[in-house]
Structure 1
Amino acid sequence: MLKHADIWRALDRLAQEYGLSASGLAKKAGLDPTTFNKSKRVTREGKARWPSTESIAKVLEATGSNLNEFINYVQGEGARGVIRNVPLIGLAQAGSQGFFDDAGYPTGGSWDEIPFPDVPDSNAYALEITGASMEPVYRDGDLVLVSPNANIRRGDRVVVKTIEGEVMAKQLRRRSARKIELQSLNPDYEDRFFEMDEIVWIHRIIWASQ
């Protein structure tokens, strides 16, 4: 399984490849020089933190590297897993016809793809967040990896599709045989309540680029 340390190690190795410190790499990418400091790799509560997709993209652009090169660093010594391409679309597109089959698995040829290490679900897919409706949990441009086959429990962050074609990312507050309650990630947006027969599928978010 991909770990926080694998991504941070890859950033450190990329910096070394270009003769830079972690601070120098951040500065070269136009970021705050402290962005990749050891202290920024955990929250104040001691929880491991992911580097953002935006910061990684800026680093790759600044060094002239590409995503495949970065993935090779992720897979380097001390990292585990294999790389495979994961289907990717924007969250705003996900409600359109032709992207999912009746079981809720990615289908059709309109998906983009991104390389991703060690995905536990062969039907997993990625969504790119657009807009501010899921801030501060997910921001515009963040990627979330979604597993159709993962077990879902109360409190999990999930992606839900309704029979009306709406696709949303929420937190599962409660689910019974007949009803489902979804808590909005952005407090400025209302929570949502549905009958279960209004839901086409519900999938768990298993990773986010934060």
Structure 2
Amino acid sequence: MLKHADIWAALDALARDHGLTASALARKAGLDPTTFNKSKRITREGKARWPSTESVAKVLEATGASMSDFVSYIEGATATAATVATIPLIGFAQAGDRGFFDDAGYPAGGGWDEIPFPEIGDPHSYALEVSGDSMEPLYRDGDVVIVSPGAGVRRGDRVVVRTTEGEVMVKQLVRLTAKRIDLASINPAHSGRSLASEEVAWMARILWASQ
């Protein structure tokens, strides 16, 4: 029996094979970037929603895939659905906006995209897509970093830090005390930061990066 999740998984797989996120695939097809977001896959009543035939047709045209190709993706999604997990994804530039994180630094709201990623043991893990050159040479434009709010943080770890003012940064932890957090810049062209503990809303460890 064909399931809603199989169709969505097929779209995700098609996007991945073209080096795109689901939102980037939607843009490539001339659709609203949120068309394939997780929040659009269910109705307000909580029922599963099918993607429209028009959106699927536009995606096939934009990627050059045939309907038989898409059916193959659906069949592959059916076979692997039980083993493939997904985690939330947003662009790094969006991470400072309101509504994407709760007070504990966990993903919140419906504006997140999703990408497939193996289970890492933290149900609150998420991905950030790097934009610009402020984190070079370690992280470049388009790289994706996987963040785990539940992972322990130690000296030398690369971390995502959000201040109480809403600033979000990627740094390397130099020192952590009860009163201060000292951070080194990833990009040597940018200075490090020393923040009072009360200035930091949350800090989460980077576990992995695509490069």
TM (norm. structure 2) is 0.63
Deviations 1:43-67 (A, max 9, x none): xxxxxxxxxxx99729xx999689x
Is there any run of 5+ residues in structure 2 with no aligned partner, and where?
Answer: 1-15, 21-61
Which residue is 2:168 aligned to? 167
Cα distance in 1 for partners of 2:123, 2:84 equals 12
Which residue is 2:204 aligned to? 203
Alpha carbons of 1:55 and 1:111: their partners in 2 closer, same or farther (altered >3 Å)? closer
Which residue is 1:88 aligned to? 89
Cα displacement (A) at 1:83: 1.8
* Percent pairwise identity: 54
The answer as to whether partners of 1:184 and 1:192 remain within 8 angstroms in 2 is yes
1:57 aligns with 2:19: yes
Which residue is 2:107 aligned to? 106
- Give the count of matched residue pairs: 147
The answer as to whether partners of 1:160 and 1:169 remain within 8 angstroms in 2 is yes
Cα distance in 1 for partners of 2:108, 2:63 equals 35
Cα distance in 2 for partners of 1:63, 1:173 equals 48
The answer as to whether partners of 1:88 and 1:111 remain within 8 angstroms in 2 is yes
- The residue matched to 1:161 in structure 2 has which SS? strand
Cα distance in 1 for partners of 2:200, 2:108 equals 19
Cα distance in 2 for partners of 1:130, 1:168 equals 12
Cα distance in 2 for partners of 1:201, 1:135 equals 23
Which residue is 2:116 aligned to? 115
Which residue is 1:16 aligned to? none
1:131 aligns with 2:132: yes
Cα distance in 2 for partners of 1:137, 1:56 equals 24
The answer as to whether partners of 1:82 and 1:118 remain within 8 angstroms in 2 is no
1:146 aligns with 2:147: yes
Which residue is 1:182 aligned to? 183
1:10-89 to 2 correspondences below 5 Å: 57=19, 82-89=83-90
Letter in 1 for 2:160: V
Structure with the higher helix share, 1 or 2: 2
Q: RMSD over aligned Cα, in angstroms?
A: 2.8
Moved beyond 3 Å, runs of 4+: 61-66
The answer as to whether partners of 1:128 and 1:142 remain within 8 angstroms in 2 is yes
Is there any run of 5+ residues in structure 1 with no aligned partner, and where?
Answer: 1-53
Letter in 2 for 1:184: S
Deviations 1:64-92 (A, max 9, x none): 689x96xx7xx99xxxx932221100111
Letter in 1 for 2:127: A
Cα distance in 1 for partners of 2:150, 2:128 equals 16
Deviations 1:88-123 (A, max 9, x none): 001111011000111111010011111111222110
TM (norm. structure 1) is 0.63
Cα distance in 1 for partners of 2:167, 2:128 equals 14
Alpha carbons of 1:186 and 1:55: their partners in 2 closer, same or farther (altered >3 Å)? farther
